Structures are given as C-alpha cells and as structure tokens.
C-alpha cells in the first residue's frame, strides 16, 4: 500500500485513478503529476522551474482526494502538496495531443480559386491585429492570401511579413529579388519559365511561409502559377495509395550549389503532420539532386514521382493569374507549389521582392491574437 485515496480516488503502484466529471476513472502517472503540479511553473516567465531530475527517489503519492473541483495530493518524502483543477486533468486524460487553436482545418482548393483568395489591404493589416489574425487564419486554412495596396518601398515587404513573424534569412540573405539578374544563381532570376516548385528544399529546414511583393510587372508574359499541394496529395492518395506511401516515406536529396554555397538536404515529397493528415508537399526539379537511392528502389520510386509531378500540372489544379504591382502574395511554402510562365526579357519591368518566415511563427502569432494559451 503506497498511501490512501478518498472520494473514489484509487492509488495505484505508479500513479492513481481519478474520477472525472464524465463519470469515468482516468489514470495519471505519479511522475507526470509531480512534474506538472501548478506550482512547477513560474507565473512570470511561464516556464517550468521545478526540476524532476533533482529528485533522489521516484515521486510517491501519500494521500489523494477530491475537494470540490480539484484533486488534492500530498507526497511521500516531501512537504509538497499539489492541487489540480479536474478540468485540467480531464484535458490530458485520454493521451490526446494538446488542443491547438492553430490546428485550423486545411481546405483544399483548385484552379478556380483566384476570385476566392482571402484578400487584405496592407494598411488594414498594419493598423489592426484582428485583421492580422484573419490573415493568419487564411494562411493556415487555404495556404495563401493576397495583400493589396503595398507601399512601393523596399521596407514594405519586411514590415508586412514582420506582422506575422520574424523574417528569417535564407542563403540568399534577408530578402531576394526575383528579376532578371546578369549572373543568375537560380532559375527564378532569369526570364525563363519556372516549373512548379516549393522554395529551397536544399535547406535543412526549408522556408515556411513565403512573401512575394510585386514591385513591377509590365513585361509580356510571366503569369504566376499556383497549385495547392494538399489537393493533389489528397487525390493522389486515393488514386495511387502505394505511390502515396512511397512519396511520404522516402527521403530524396536536394541541392543548390554555386560559387559561395553548396546547400544539401533530404526531404520527402509528401508531408504528414503529427496527426497523420496531409500537411504539405516539397518538390523542386531544379533543386533535385541526382537521386542516390538504390537503383532497384528507383524502379518503383520514379514512376510514383512522375505520376505525382504530372498530376501537379493538371489544369484542374492550376491557378494562373497576373500578380499586379502593389500586391503581395503570401503562401505556405511547404504546401503551395508555385511557378511562373516565361516572360519576354526587356519587354517591360518585372520585379518581385521576396522573404520568408517560419511556419511556427505563423502559428504562434495566430494563437496569441486568438488569445489562446495555458497562461492566458
Ligand atoms: Fe520560388
């Protein structure tokens, strides 16, 4: 006998059973209870200040009982007492992942999405956090949104992206300029067609959310192409389940090499989130390294890869439109596949200025604006 329980609380060898409001008994481990006692967390820093590694012996419950809406515990070998709201315990009773308001249901879209894109004026975003919350929601739900009335300044891009999170550099620096470069280090910096891709899979942690501020677009051609990787991956899973598994489970190499950098990383074409739902795609033919997989494995992988790539080009999925000067498109670089039709060099100006933030920053901002969190 390790101790005593009352009010239906049952002490077990390594924890206890607690009767919850739904009438069911829920088991909680003693380490977990001691580690997550409300007193373990500092109200100011909001971080855990209790050190379970400092305990010489495993935490043991001496007594436990229900008092109103709380579970009370006294501990062996210490004077410590714990008091847990039963509602808090109920939220961890089933071993389910912590609820997250930023887990917005992703809504797939198709070629006809352009008139339905969530749109925001830059001045509204800059002056109203509620609007920023709506913008973040659109990015979590649809994977992209369009900003209008961008100031025609170099700073406008960073100011706008900064409303959602800290701008993170890539190996091209804080920002990049999509226009015809004299000595291009990337296909984007030419007037050629740019096949559908996600940006920089050659980075270990490829950029999360991309912003492209259109400063000028008077050149002939150069339509923007966007595809929802979620729509394709969902249909792909239904039509080719074995190929889907291959693209989910196989790491393929990407690279980006030039005079001053040689980036290499491995990625999976289809990404699942922590709940097993499709959360994105990573694909780039211009950054795909020579596949160094066993040649026998490629007998199956290449047909699956090509089936997916061809499906991605189906008109059913392809949203094509002309980005206007003064607009900024923001999109999830792990979900939305983008490209560009060729344009006629010297037929006019075409200039997009781009930058990135991480997906985690987007979710963080959304939670804060929504007022959700353990300490709110
Ligand atoms: Fe790109």
Summarised one tens digit per residue, pLDDT across range 2-59 is 556 677 999 999 999 999 988 899 999 999 999 999 999 999 999 999 999 999 999 9
* CA 194 to ligand 1 center in whole angstroms: 8
Instruction: Read off the pLDDT band of 116 (50, 70, 90).
Output: very high
Residue 79 alpha carbon to ligand 1 centre in Å: 60
pLDDT of res. 346: 80
More confident residue, 323 or 346: 323
Mean pLDDT within 99-122: 97
What does 121-154 look like in DSSP terms, one character per residue?
EHHHHHH-HHHHHHHHHHHHHTSEEEEE---SSS
- Give the mean pLDDT of the chain: 94
Nearest to 136 by CA among 170, 161, 108: 161
* Dist. CA 122 → ligand 1 center (Å): 22
pLDDT digits (tens, 9 = 90+) for 202-249: 999 999 999 999 999 888 888 899 999 999 999 999 999 999 999 999
- Ligand 1 centroid vs 240 CA: distance in angstroms? 27
The CA distance from 216 to 226, in Å, is: 19
85 CA → ligand 1 middle, Å: 49
Q: Which residues of 222-239 are buried (b: 16+ CB within 10 A; e: fewer)?
A: bebbbbbbbbbbbbbbee
Q: Which of helix, strand or coil describes residue 116?
A: helix
Predicted local confidence at residue 4, as pLDDT? 64
- CA 273 vs CA 97, 276, 314, 361: distances in Å: 12, 5, 25, 17
- Three-point CA angle 105, 365, 319, nearest 5°: 50
Ligand 1 (ion): residues with CB under 5 Å are: 199
Asked whether residue 1 carries a pLDDT value surpassing 70, the answer given is no
* Mean pLDDT computed over 91-107: 95
Residue 294 has pLDDT above 70, yes or no: yes
CA of 284 from ligand 1 middle (Å) equals 9
pLDDT in tens, 137-178: 999 999 999 999 999 999 999 999 999 999 999 998 999 998
pLDDT for the residue 3: 56
């Amino acid at each position: 006998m390790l101790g005593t329980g009352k009010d239906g609380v049952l002490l077990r060898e390594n924890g206890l059973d607690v009767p919850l409001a739904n009438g069911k008994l829920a088991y909680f481990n003693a380490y977990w209870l001691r580690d997550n006692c409300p007193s373990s967390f500092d109200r100011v820093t909001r971080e855990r200040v209790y050190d379970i590694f400092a305990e010489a012996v495993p935490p043991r419950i001496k007594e436990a009982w229900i008092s109103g809406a709380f579970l009370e515990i006294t501990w062996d070998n210490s004077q410590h007492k714990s008091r847990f709201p039963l509602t808090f315990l109920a939220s961890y009773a089933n071993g389910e992942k912590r609820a997250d308001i930023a887990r917005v249901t992703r809504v797939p879209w198709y070629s006809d999405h352009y008139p339905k894109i969530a749109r925001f004026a830059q001045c509204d975003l800059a002056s109203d956090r509620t609007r920023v919350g709506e913008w973040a929601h659109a990015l979590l739900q649809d994977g992209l949104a369009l900003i209008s009335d961008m100031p025609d300044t170099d700073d406008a891009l960073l100011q706008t992206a900064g409303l959602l999170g800290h701008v993170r550099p890539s190996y091209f620096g804080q920002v990049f300029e999509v226009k015809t470069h004299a000595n291009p280090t990337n296909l984007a910096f030419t007037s050629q067609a740019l096949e559908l891709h996600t940006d920089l899979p050659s980075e270990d942690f490829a950029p999360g959310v991309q912003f492209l501020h259109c400063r000028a677009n008077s050149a002939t051609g150069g339509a923007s192409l966007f595809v929802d990787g979620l729509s394709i991956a969902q249909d792909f899973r239904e039509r080719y389940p074995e190929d889907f598994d291959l693209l989910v489970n196989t790491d393929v190499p990407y690279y980006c090499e030039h005079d001053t950098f040689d980036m290499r990383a491995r990625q999976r074409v289809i990404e699942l989130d922590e709940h097993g739902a499709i959360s994105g795609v990573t694909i780039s033919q211009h950054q795909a390294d020579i596949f160094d997989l066993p040649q026998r494995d490629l007998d199956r992988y290449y047909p699956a890869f090509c089936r997916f790539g061809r499906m991605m080009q189906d008109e059913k999925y392809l949203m094509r439109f002309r980005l206007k000067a003064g607009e900024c498109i923001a999109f999830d670089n792990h979900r939305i596949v983008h490209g560009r039709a060729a344009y006629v060099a010297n037929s006019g100006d075409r200039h997009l200025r781009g930058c990135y933030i991480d997906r985690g920053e987007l979710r963080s901002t959304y939670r804060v604006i929504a007022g959700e969190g353990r300490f709110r």
